[in-house]
Chains A and B, each alone.
Chain A
Amino acid sequence: MNPEEAIGLSVMLPLLGALGIALVGRYPNLREAVTLVTAGAVFATVLNLVPSVMAGARPGLEVFQVLPGLTLAFEVEPLGMLYALVASGLWIPTALYSIGYCRGHDEENQTRFFACFALAIFAALGIAFARNLFTLFLFYEVLTLSTYPLVTHYGNDEARRAGRTYLGILLTTSVLFLLLAIIWTWHLTGTLEFSPGGILAGRVDGPLVAILLGLYAFGTGKAALMPFHRWLPAAMVAPTPVSALLHAVAIVKAGVFTVLKVIVYVFGIDFLSETGGSVWLMYVASFTMIAASVIALTKDNLKARLAYSTIGQLAYIVLGGALATMDGVFGSGMHIAMHAMGKITLFFCAGAIFVATHKKNVSEMDGLGRTMPFTLSAFFLGSISIIGLPPTGGAWSKWYLALGAAEGHHAFFIAVLMVSSLLSIGYLMPIVGRAFFLPSPEKEQAQPGGRAGFWAGIQEAPLLCVFPPCLTAVGCVLLFFYAPAILELLQTMSLER
């Protein structure tokens, strides 16, 4: 398979998968098979692209010219490669998990659920491989719209309200700010192509740089920068697999990925560090980081706490971009992968706990470690990665982010990163502590005729809900050792003109 075909195939496969799912919706087993096969095939195809990108090639595919100079086109560069790997790779465990979750939970409208899920992955890959801002924006909106039915899956008043917040914020920011920024960029430069070193240098100056960057940063509502973060906690009414893959990985990463791409390929980090146009963004990101972590401390609902943690972690990535240094960009890129693996683990665990015990709140989780040791161990590893301690992948991305801050002579932000890490210990570790060290409020009943020894008293969720988090937890540890490979991929990025 040549790279051009691989690009087209990896974008089209999820779309075809969505169609297939809709067609065979009447037969659940066949439908799930379609999901799994598609997920596997997509990941394999994306993986296929890695060697050539690693070797420095930038395979591209031009699909269509919409307006003169405005094309629907794809090109794979390291950041997009990484994001595509993360989104498509984590789709496989999520697909397994969804099947366990939906069946264990007797969800309604499962066909719509799986079809929209595949559509969302289609959009995510489109974003990952977008060669220009137009293509990116197109798929960005497809992603928003295809996930709306997932957020409002339960169809009740709460879901409807959440759907309004979700669509309201994401569409408002994207249409009002992002689109304006894109058209403005076109007006200034006559091109929307992502190019090494940026396209804006020399076309804007003074405060306009900061304003334009602001339109991009806030316009990408999916990056959940405060004050446009409310949609993410609202989206937590969705079924947990959606929260896991989409609201911890695909969608929010699409947001920060967009911000990062704009900083690297539209503004250019040299241009930003020369003009200082991104300094304000560092402060906004830092504020978001700290504020979201503090709010996370106060949330008792586990998914809400994780959502605010996500908002804080996304701000790391935005900060890394705003620092406008090479190591900052590398750190941000790595954090896309590291945080994805960690946070998806945590959400999987939250869902598994919910399926097994119907508990949603942290305060109810005392002693849970004894009945669900696998889930909670996975939760522990995921937490370590989010906090950023070895031996998990999160340690590396934080290291490079701090290095990036030092490189840009912004020592203040190293301190912010450290404080944020401490706060994340504060909101994640108590959960693990409660589960393993506090006694369970319910009297543990010895099961008559139960299993003896180690297996006694274990009441885990269905296998398909427990296996995926264990898998991704192991992934968190593996990423610690494979971080150099990711770094190597990112280092082939051309940051200079």
Chain B
Amino acid sequence: MIEHLPALQTVLPLLAAPVCVLLRRAALVRVFAALVTWSCLAIAFSLLQEVLRNGAVSYELGGWAPPLGIEYRIDVLNAYVLVLVATMASVVIAFPLAGRELRIPKERFFLFYALFLLCLAGLLGITITGDLFNIFVFLEISSLSAYALIGLGRDRRALTAAFSYLAMGTVGGAFILIGIGLVYQMTGTLNIVDLGQRLPPVLGTRTVWMAFAFLVVGTSIKLAAFPLHQWLPNAYTYAPSVVSAFLSATATKVAYYVLVRLLFTVFGFAFVFERVQLTALLLPLSLIAMVVGSLAAIYQTDIKRLLAYSSIAQIGYMTLGLSLANLDGLTGGLVHLFNHGLIKGGLFLVVACALSRVESPRIESLRGMGKRMPWTMAAFVVGGLGLIGIPGTVGFVSKWYLVLGALDKGLYFVAFMILASSLLAVIYVWRVVEVMYFSDEEQAVERHDAPLSMLLPTWVLIGATIYFGFDTELTAGVAEKAAAYLLGGAS
């Protein structure tokens, strides 16, 4: 049993999804899906423990030896991402579905849970597998279910948002597939570790350069890295808030993981950063993403769109850490993966809480809510402080490593920009805070907060943004190990 944990990590949610459709009763399905998700979390944690104790775990699917068979390979990097994905899924699944945010009636809620588990299976699969083609397969599973999840939003524009995500996502998927094909043509293998050994002799060929370009652009679309981010704002705005919470905390993060894996394990540090000089491209784009994303967030009138643009800026932080390609920078990027997942997931859940009492997600409709929904709004403030990167929140830990990474390379301007763009976060966060806490109405408002079943998962995430601001053993500690592993393995 215990040695089959890697397989269970993906098989469990994958098989549970159709079971949801069979069970049908909303309450029953919810409990079932939650149990499955929580078991995934337990598996992810035990895998991380195992990896931290004994090093990388290799699992041969169906007993076929790699590189011919599919290998699940868990090292400290993807064990860390597995924990992130499973954690976020576990919290979101506990959040009660609000009928007013979904276009399907309560009798058909089981569809949501089935899609959710499929998406989870896809995301976990991408992360755990050691096979490039397998990544593509799981990518499609997670993407297709994500399109449908976004399309569940009540607003009709959710459908066009899902469609444009579908269009962009398919292009990204196709690019990745082309890249995989080209790499396979040159090496005859799809196993990631095997690729890392077989690619170096042929790195100079134009085919490999093409494959590199296709793979990087393809994953960047999935990651919503600037300027390939256009699908993201609409998708997060019109999707049900719980879906936005889940996808913002996991889907882009997994894409980031794939990018890191491709750059460091498949193509290798020397090729990517010395020959191709990816930094020259990725660093300026990341900086632009940080500034433009934040500036765009400042001008939004819809709170979900504000958070979506803020995500684009935060993804900029992560790719910035990647482009610095030193220990501190990469640690910063990886730790921000986790930290931003907590913050943004928490903030979208705050929106879900607010939408249980407020009609529209327009910022203006939150006026004076600080008194009516004190716990919900306080959660927003704490999450917002995390986005800004106030010490004592997770955002500070990420920023600390990123600035150190920039200083380490002597890039003083970049260090300055990291801090300056966090001030833009002050503006967009405080715009909302002012609306929430300053109202012109004089009369006392009655307190009418979101139900406890919603507040609890929200505060778990928001509380975690504070907790992991102090206890960084699991986040920064593991991220640093992963970064050291990647850089050590590369050079």
A residues lining the B interface (CB < 8 Å): 64, 66-67, 70, 72, 134, 137-138, 141-142, 145, 152, 155, 160, 163-164, 167-168, 171-172, 175-176, 179-180, 183-184, 186-187
Contacts and interface: CB of A to CB of B under 8 A. Distances in A.
A72 B415 CA distance: 24
The 10 closest A-B pairs by CB, nearest first: A138-B391, A187-B407, A183-B403, A141-B390, A176-B419, A138-B392, A160-B438, A175-B419, A171-B426, A137-B391
A429 B420 CA distance: 44
B299 interface: no
Contacts of B437: 152, 155
Among B388, B389, B392, B439, max chain A CB count under 10 A is at: B392
A183 B420 CA distance: 14
Contacts of B470: 64, 66, 72
A67 B438 contact: no
Given A155-B438, A171-B423, A186-B404, 8 more contacts: A137-B391, A155-B437, A176-B416, A179-B403, A180-B415, A180-B416, A184-B407, A187-B408
A145 B390 contact: yes
B301 interface: no
B391 A134 contact: yes
B397 interface: yes
Nearest to B371: A109
B343 interface: no
24 contacts: A64-B471, A67-B397, A72-B470, A134-B391, A141-B391, A141-B392, A152-B437, A155-B438, A160-B434, A160-B438, A164-B430, A168-B426, A171-B423, A172-B426, A175-B423, A176-B419, A176-B423, A179-B399, A179-B403, A180-B403, A180-B419, A183-B407, A186-B404, A187-B408
B422 A175 contact: yes
B423 A172 contact: yes
B415 A142 contact: no
Interface string B264-301: 00000000000000000000000000000000000000
B472 interface: yes
B400 interface: yes
B386 to A, nearest CB: 12
B97 interface: no
Contacts of B434: 160, 163
B385 A145 contact: yes
B407 A152 contact: no
A176 B391 contact: no
A189 to B, nearest CB: 12
A379 B388 CA distance: 42
B123 interface: no
A179 B407 contact: no
B192 interface: no
A8 B86 CA distance: 37
Contacts of B89: none
B387 interface: no
B476 interface: yes
B373 to A, nearest CB: 16
A137 B393 CA distance: 13
A183 B404 contact: yes
Contact of A167 (B392, B416, B426, B476): B426
Contacts of A184: 407, 415
Given A180-B419, A187-B407, A67 B391 contact: no
Interface string B254-270: 00000000000000000
Contacts of A67: 397, 400, 472, 476
A18 to B, nearest CB: 14
A138 B393 CA distance: 10
A60 B392 CA distance: 21
Given A134-B391, A187-B407, A66 B472 contact: yes
Nearest to A176: B419
Contacts of B400: 67, 70, 183
B306 to A, nearest CB: 18
Nearest to B469: A66
A70 B400 CA distance: 11
A172 B438 CA distance: 22
Given A160-B434, A187-B404, A187-B407, A179 B419 contact: yes
A397 B392 CA distance: 36
A164 B433 CA distance: 11
Contacts of B469: 66
Given A66-B470, A183-B400, A183-B415, A175 B389 contact: yes
A152 B404 CA distance: 35
A159 to B, nearest CB: 8
Contacts of A145: 385, 390
A180 B389 CA distance: 13
A167 B426 CA distance: 9
Contacts of B420: 176
A152 B438 contact: yes
Contacts of A180: 403, 415-416, 419
A133 B416 CA distance: 19
Interface in B383-441: 385, 388-392, 397, 399-400, 403-404, 407-408, 415-416, 419-420, 422-423, 426, 430, 434, 437-439
Contacts of B419: 175-176, 179-180
A214 to B, nearest CB: 14
Contacts of B391: 134, 137-138, 141
Nearest to B390: A141
Contacts of B397: 66-67
Contacts of B439: 155
B389 to A, nearest CB: 7
Contacts of B390: 141, 145
A187 B389 CA distance: 19
Nearest to A149: B437
A67 B423 CA distance: 24
A276 B18 CA distance: 74
Contacts of B399: 179
Contacts of B408: 187
B195 to A, nearest CB: 34
Given A180-B416, A187-B408, A142 B392 contact: yes
A384 B234 CA distance: 64
Contacts of B438: 152, 155, 160
Contacts of B426: 167-168, 171-172, 175
A207 to B, nearest CB: 14
Contacts of A141: 390-392
A119 to B, nearest CB: 13
Contacts of A64: 470-471
Nearest to B328: A187
Contacts of A168: 426
Interface string B229-245: 00000000000000000
Nearest to A140: B391
Nearest to B480: A68
B178 to A, nearest CB: 42
A405 to B, nearest CB: 34
